[in-house]
């Protein structure tokens, strides 16, 4: 069931503001059974106060047991069924480096590799070539020229780069050319559908010219293509929710995900304090604000419990600055859990706080995973967060008479 | 997922009785955060006793954030996916005044309006003409005669009346004729599909004759047609659950909704006490009883917290009379929340009590929204209430071997 099918016909307008504060990877695990998680360990007086006044619950990003990447994690929070709306890997990689995909574009993750004298792959990652060496090579590949195609080649990191193809009639159902093995040559780009034949041809021509340009390199004398993906077509926040939405993020990936759902990217903040400034400056111009905080995830990924706890406390300090602007609805949650104990994204439900005047408060006293189990929102699929936000903002009409 | 797809093949027969007591709009909100709701404030010793012995939970009528009307609210409780089974506005209006729609009927909500000398609408509601004046005009419109069509015109209230078309080959995809504006003429009935062409023609002929009959009226010299809708086709309680079901309701709307799912309307009770008499009289004749109590909703709609609390206490007094008849399963819930604080239907989950011998009781001590958060039924979509009822009545076979 796609909630947007219903919401499209129910949303109404008013002057309310909705703020969605995302602590990336917010959910965690205790260091020993029965202990406290990062969020429970952190001193978060501002979020705790709102937890008392508001309503808590546990958000399930996709379905129980599924650990989402940043793409499905955020799509879920934005109310887009993360199983229905898939963002191909190439499109996500391009989005992640801030490349603004246009409708019809096909994006490709590419890896430099090492080929032996017989053209067989001897190293699938070109010896993990450092970025200082790989970036100039990626830029050199911009010399490739294919009639009728506008070509973009963007360095990423180490052996990785991104290719974007722009032109008429490019569909994206083309297989990877990485054979996932050494001692064999790269695969030939092959179309799985008639509509993607042209894309496969362009890929073959790209590789032909690229191999020629790279032939004298020692490490990176070849490359493979992966995750060949068109720009996903997502309905916009304006259309499905009637919301003029702004994203205030520091990292390109999250700006890119927000752009895919039609949010405006506002400001150029580098810190949480600067993000709060941008929020204040834009308060009158938008209905909805997505504020992204990366460091609860990156410290979790590093397996650093103390650092994640400290970053959670940092997140808490921005809350009064948001509340003094007077949002009708304030939500704090994460796109998934990133427990420091696992040093990775996980499948655990994500603590969620919703504050609004008529939210039907619950007995919860503080913001944390255990308290959320007692919360009035129960356990719910992330894709329903936006209907809750709209309802609490008085922005949804009645369904049926 | 439609639970009925599975239940159709699983239900079995026994002598058990199931009672569904619906306090319309039962769920509420406290008057201040952390306070008690209407249900929590009310003295409900009988429901509290059953809450201790039974199992509680919170029912979500449609999905999180959605405030349903009476139609989808009740369909959900009856186990019909309220998104799959939509009742058109005309059909609901006809149902609401007690008109018994037959398969193939097309029902229309109509408004008297005022037309100026150029045939343009000067008042879309005919100056909110009082019912004493409008009802005779609706009855006068019964003079309209269209070959091959049986026509029913029923007064409703003020400027509103209902038209039902009965005949062969009438489909309902015809646009409203209310332009939702003044200073323009009514729109012409237009079919959106080949199958609804005849309905559009009949509507045009109806309007032609009606305008002639009304032409000398000062206020109501025209009318518009809205919500043109066929009788919805719903599978019956007998078919999907194997239940012979009776509805004991006071208001026509709820009798009508029950009739749509194949319940018999029994008795002619005007009070809750009379409803209890009807229940007792019919106890041996049916497997399932739907008892509807309106006043928890109407007092909520009035924004009257104290009155809703009192009406909730009134609802509680009927419980011993039900229990002494010995139902196998007793359920008390609402079709949605109507918090007096909002004076409208809302999206908040609905407190639900299920009592049965083998229901696996939970730690809940009383019937109320906060207690329900600790309940053994958790938060669940209303459409699953009937499978729970059948299971607890021993009326469902095992699924799979």
Measured in angstroms, the CA of A399 and the nearest CA of chain B are apart by 5
CB–CB of A142/A249 below 8 Å? no
Residue A52: its chain B contacts at CB < 8 A? 34
For A112, the 3-state DSSP assignment is strand
- Identify the sign of the CA torsion A52, A53, A58, A61: negative
Check whether B401 has a pLDDT greater than 90: no
Give the pLDDT confidence of A206-223 residue by residue, as tens digits: 999 999 999 999 999 999
pLDDT of residue B58: 98
pLDDT of residue A401: 80
Please report how the helices A197-214 and A131-140 are oriented relative to each other, as an axis angle in degrees rounded to 10.
Answer: 120
Which residue is listed with tokens 């032409």?
A: B215
Residue A9 touches partner B, C-beta closer than 8 Å: no
For A167, the 3-state DSSP assignment is coil
Record the tokens describing residue B284, joined without a space. Answer: 């041996």
pLDDT band at A375 (very low <50, low <70, confident <90, very high): very high
Q: What percent of chain B has pLDDT over 70?
A: 100
d(CA A374, CA B80): 29
d(CA A223, CA A138): 10
Question: DSSP character for B396?
Answer: B
- The residues facing B353 across adjacent strands are B56, B332
d(CA A340, CA A338): 6
d(CA A356, CA A343): 34
The residues spanned by each domain of chain A are 3-86+235-392, 92-230
pLDDT of residue A17: 98
**Sequence-separated (6 or more) residues with CB below 8 Å from residue B244:** B237, B238, B264, B285, B286, B287, B288
Assigned CATH topology for domain B3-86+235-392: Alkaline Phosphatase, subunit A (3.40.720)
CB–CB of A3/A312 below 8 Å? no
The alpha-carbon radius of gyration of chain A (Å, integer) is 23
Q: Compute how many other C-beta atoms are within 10 angstroms of the C-beta atom of residue B200.
A: 21
Question: DSSP character for B133?
Answer: H
Give the pLDDT confidence of B44-69 residue by residue, as tens digits: 999 999 999 999 999 999 999 999 99
Record the tokens describing residue A78, joined without a space. Answer: 């934005």
H-type alpha helices, B34-117: 38-41, 45-53, 70-77, 89-96
| Residue A77: C-alpha distances to residues A73, A80, A257, A335, A367 (Å) | 7, 7, 11, 6, 18
Chain B residue at shortest CA distance from A399: B68
A377 contacts B373? CB cut-off 8 A: no
Question: DSSP character for A263?
Answer: P
The chain-wide mean pLDDT, for chain A, equals 96
Check whether B33 has a pLDDT greater than 90: no
Record the tokens describing residue B244, joined without a space. Answer: 């012979």
CB–CB of A393/A14 below 8 Å? yes
CB–CB of B94/B84 below 8 Å? no
For the segment A230-253, the average pLDDT, to the nearest whole number, is 96
Record the tokens describing residue B36, joined without a space. Answer: 């008690």
CB–CB of A325/A17 below 8 Å? yes
Residue A378: its chain B contacts at CB < 8 A? 58, 349, 373, 378-379
Question: What ipTM describes this predicted complex?
Answer: 0.90
Measured in angstroms, the CA of B284 and the nearest CA of chain A are apart by 34
Residue A5: its chain B contacts at CB < 8 A? 83
pLDDT of residue A65: 98
Question: DSSP character for A26?
Answer: B
B:277-296 residues touching chain A, CB 8 A cutoff: none
Give the pLDDT confidence of B63-109 residue by residue, as tens digits: 999 999 999 999 999 999 999 999 998 999 998 898 999 999 999 99
Record the tokens describing residue B133, joined without a space. Answer: 């004046």
pLDDT band at A231 (very low <50, low <70, confident <90, very high): very high
Lateral strand order in the sheet of B350-356: B264-265, B245-248, B288-293, B18-23, B329-333, B350-356, B55-60, B378-381
B342 closest CB neighbour out of A358, A377, A386: A358
Give the pLDDT confidence of A103-128 residue by residue, as tens digits: 999 999 999 999 999 999 999 999 99
């Amino acid at each position: 069931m796609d909630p947007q099918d219903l919401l499209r016909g129910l949303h109404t307008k008013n002057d309310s503001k909705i703020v969605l504060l995302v602590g990336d990877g917010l959910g965690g695990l205790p260091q020993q059974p029965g202990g406290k998680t990062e969020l429970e360990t952190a001193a978060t007086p501002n979020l705790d106060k709102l937890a008392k006044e508001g309503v808590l619950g546990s958000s399930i990003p996709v379905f129980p047991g599924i650990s989402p990447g940043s793409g499905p994690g955020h799509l879920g929070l934005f109310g887009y069924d993360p199983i229905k709306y898939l963002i191909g890997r190439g499109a996500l990689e391009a989005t992640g480096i801030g490349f603004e995909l246009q409708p019809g574009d096909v994006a490709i993750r590419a890896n430099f590799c090492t080929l032996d004298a017989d053209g067989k792959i001897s190293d699938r990652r070109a010896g993990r070539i450092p970025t200082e060496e790989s970036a100039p090579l990626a830029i050199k590949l911009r010399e490739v020229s294919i009639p009728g195609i506008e070509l973009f080649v963007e360095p990423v990191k180490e052996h990785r780069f991104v290719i974007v193809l722009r032109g008429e009639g490019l569909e994206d159902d083309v297989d990877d050319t990485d054979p996932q093995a050494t001692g064999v040559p790269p695969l030939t780009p092959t179309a799985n559908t008639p509509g993607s034949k042209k894309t496969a041809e362009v890929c073959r021509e790209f590789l032909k010219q690229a191999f020629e340009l790279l032939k004298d390199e020692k490490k990176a004398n070849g490359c493979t293509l992966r995750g060949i993906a068109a720009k996903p077509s997502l309905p916009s926040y304006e259309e499905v929710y009637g919301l003029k939405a702004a994203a205030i993020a520091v990292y390109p990936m999250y700006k890119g995900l927000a752009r895919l759902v039609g949010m405006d990217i506002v400001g150029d903040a580098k810190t949480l304090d600067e993000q709060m400034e941008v929020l204040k400056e834009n308060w009158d111009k938008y209905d909805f604000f997505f504020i992204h905080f990366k460091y609860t995830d990156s410290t979790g990924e590093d397996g650093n419990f103390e650092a994640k706890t400290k970053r959670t406390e940092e997140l808490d300090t921005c809350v009064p600055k948001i509340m003094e602007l007077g949002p009708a609805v304030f939500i704090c949650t994460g796109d998934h859990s990133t427990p420091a104990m696992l040093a990775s994204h996980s499948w655990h439900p994500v603590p969620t706080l919703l504050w609004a005047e008529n939210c039907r408060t619950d007995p919860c006293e503080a913001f944390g995973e255990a308290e959320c189990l007692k919360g009035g929102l129960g356990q719910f699929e992330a894709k329903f967060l936006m209907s809750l936000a709209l309802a609490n903002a008085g922005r949804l009409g009645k369904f049926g008479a």
